[in-house]
Amino acid sequence: MSDRTTADAEGLEARNLVRDYRIRHGMRGSTLHAVADVSFTIRPGRTIALVGESGSGKSTVARILARLEAVTSGSVLLDGVRAPVRGAALDAYRSRVQMVFQDPFSSLNPFHTILHHIERPLRIHHPRMSAAEARDRAHELLERVQLTPSSKFAERRPHELSGGQRQRVAIARALAPGATYIIADEPVSMLDVSIRLGVLNLLADLQRSDGLGVLYITHDLATARHFSDEILVMYRGEIVERGDADTVILDPQHAYTRTLLDAAADPDRLGQLREEVRRGG
Amino acid sequence: MTAQPVLTAHDVSIEYQVDPPVNAVQGVSLTLHRGEILGLAGESGCGKTTLAYGLNRLLKAPALQTSGEIVFHDAAGDIDVVGLSGDALRRYRWDKVSMVFQGSMNSLNPVMSVKAQLDDVFRTHRPGMGRAERAARSAELLGLVGVDPSRLTAFPHELSGGMRQRVMIAMALALDPKVMIMDEPTTALDVVVQRGIIREIMRLRERLGFAVIFITHDLPLLIEISDRIAVMLEGRIVELDDAERIYRTPQHAYTKRLLASFPSLRGDRGGFVRRRDDEEGASAS
């Protein structure tokens, strides 16, 4: 199974991913192609944005990469090695590929302290780490996500933190096992607008300093353009357009990309919609 | 366009009487003109929804309007909104000022058909209308918002999110109000669907001439569609001006910060931390 192909295959690769769902209509059934032949490679130090509307299959791709969802066909390869599906090998895979979820209000356990949220993945993925080491490392991680001083946050519980702070905890938690690839599924869409950029900038900083590979899933084209190297536009399970971030946004080729771009709010088009409507558009 | 006021709020303060009391809205004054779209921008907790509820007299304990006056300028004379009660209040709500609620995708009654819910509005507010008249008006309303009138018999779960939102707008339009308050009407929707609904709202406004208070945190959207924008922070309106001036020459530091929170889609990168020169190195290696 684990056939190492080439040495320079460094990266997290999605190869011809397909995911079908069976839908029942009473006695009859049909097939929904949630993901239809999707391929891309996340390289260390690079960010790929996956944009599309809800139902386009972008979250399914994220869940497949995090091994939370099985594939119908296709494969996930980490550094050229096929990603395992169970056991200790899966644990090892997950210590390198971690996810940051959309909703920081439900992704943290209200019962546990912030410190516990960071220590636990450290202890699980590094069984030989001593309690004191884990504690030190957890504090270090909190500092890295700019929850400073870490002593002020460590003993608090999630409800005592704002949405932005919680999402920083979620990022620290993802980094704790030693992840080199982060799958961020709409990481800022639940946050207040004025703190969104702070969290995205943090991700970008960490990415640069640690050489992380990031898959940034979003419906927001503006942040996709500014925070990623490459943009993949997904529509009904397929990638309809891909390319350099600026090129996709400034020179879209596919009709759906243009529809998405036209639908995005753009203050430079001030008053235009009003005029269009008045002319009977 | 002559700027004729339709709704005036003066020095409105609203307090949540909990311990310690929360001054959610503090001394807010604003004037809404006939047929205009007034954007109300602010982040969660700034008091924008509380203010909207106050304008519509929907506040429930522990929220209490502690000061200020709200006047609705009706064709038949001014209405003192704060002093309304009983039947007079019922005639004001929905008839004069209607509201599209936040998360209104989920505010339709799941066990009533669309038809029954629209019917409810008419039976309550227009007792003189006959059954056939109500049905005809309901069908007309759905047509107005771009939903096929054959969907009248549908239940909310049979409609997509965008269609539910359109039904909510139809309900808000039912009594031909002069003012519609829209509290984050499209936040939960996909961008493409959102665009369609915004366009519909703009089109209906041109046709029917109601004024809109459009509440959202999405400042770029407000700049695109509003005539004027009020920026709210911690219960106060910190800046109120033409959409264009808010965009081009914002005065208040918070307005500037809010504007800077939205990276430009097509323009310059601005002060972004992410530097392109790093990537050159990465792609060369």
Nearest to B220 among A204, A219, A265 (CB): A265
Residue of B nearest to A196 (CA): B261
Tell whether A25 is within 8 A of chain B (Cβ): no
Residue spans per domain, chain A: 12-263
B223 contacts in chain A (CB < 8 Å): 265, 267, 270
pLDDT in tens, A163-215: 899 999 999 999 999 999 999 999 998 888 888 999 999 999 999 999 999 99
B224 contacts in chain A (CB < 8 Å): 265-267, 269-273
Tell whether A279 is within 8 A of chain B (Cβ): no
pLDDT in tens, B90-128: 889 999 999 998 776 688 999 999 999 999 999 999 999
pLDDT in tens, A205-241: 999 999 999 999 998 899 999 999 999 999 999 999 9
What is the pLDDT of chain A when averaged over all its residues? 90
Nearest-CA distance from B195 to chain A in Å? 5
Residue of B nearest to A201 (CA): B273
Tell whether A110 is within 8 A of chain B (Cβ): no
Architecture of the domain delimited by A12-263: 3-Layer(aba) Sandwich (3.40)
Report whether A190 contacts A102 (CB < 8 A): yes
A260 contacts in chain B (CB < 8 Å): 191-192
CATH number of B5-105+176-265: 3.40.50.300
B221 contacts in chain A (CB < 8 Å): 265
Contact A265 B199 (CB under 8 A): no
Phi-psi region of A166 (alpha: psi -120 to 50; beta: other; left: phi over 0): alpha
Contact A259 B278 (CB under 8 A): no
For the cut 70, the answer to whether the pLDDT of residue B272 exceeds it is no
**B163: which 2 tokens?**
């269609």
A15 — pLDDT class (breaks 50, 70, 90): very high
**A29: which 2 tokens?**
């059934």
Report the percentage of chain B scoring pLDDT > 70.
Answer: 92
A149 preceded by cis ω (within 30°)?
yes
**B131: which 2 tokens?**
């059954």
Distance of CA A6 to the CA centre of its chain: 26
Tell whether A268 is within 8 A of chain B (Cβ): yes
The type of residue at B87 is D
Residue of B nearest to A209 (CA): B278
| Four-CA torsion A17, A20, A21, A25, nearest 10 degrees | 160
Tell whether A255 is within 8 A of chain B (Cβ): no
| A78 vs A15: CA distance, rounded Å | 11
Strand partners, A214: A47, A182
B185 — pLDDT class (breaks 50, 70, 90): confident
| B239 vs B251: CA distance, rounded Å | 7
Tell whether B266 is within 8 A of chain A (Cβ): yes
Strand partners, A42: A12
Pairing of strands A47-51, A28-42: unpaired
Say what the pTM is. 0.83
Q: Which residues of A71-102 are buried (b: 16+ CB within 10 A; e: fewer)?
A: beebebbbbbbbbbeeeeeeeebbbbbbbbbb
Quote the DSSP letter at residue B126.
-
**ipTM confidence:** 0.77
What is the pLDDT of chain B when averaged over all its residues? 87
A276 — pLDDT class (breaks 50, 70, 90): confident
Residue spans per domain, chain B: 5-105+176-265
For the cut 90, the answer to whether the pLDDT of residue A120 exceeds it is yes
Contact A225 B273 (CB under 8 A): no
Nearest to B279 among A193, A223, A229 (CB): A229
> Chain A to chain B, count of Cβ pairs less than 8 Å apart?
104
CB atoms within 10 A of CB B101: 19
| A179 vs B248: CA distance, rounded Å | 43
B20 preceded by cis ω (within 30°)?
yes
B103 phi/psi in degrees, rounded to 5:
60, 30
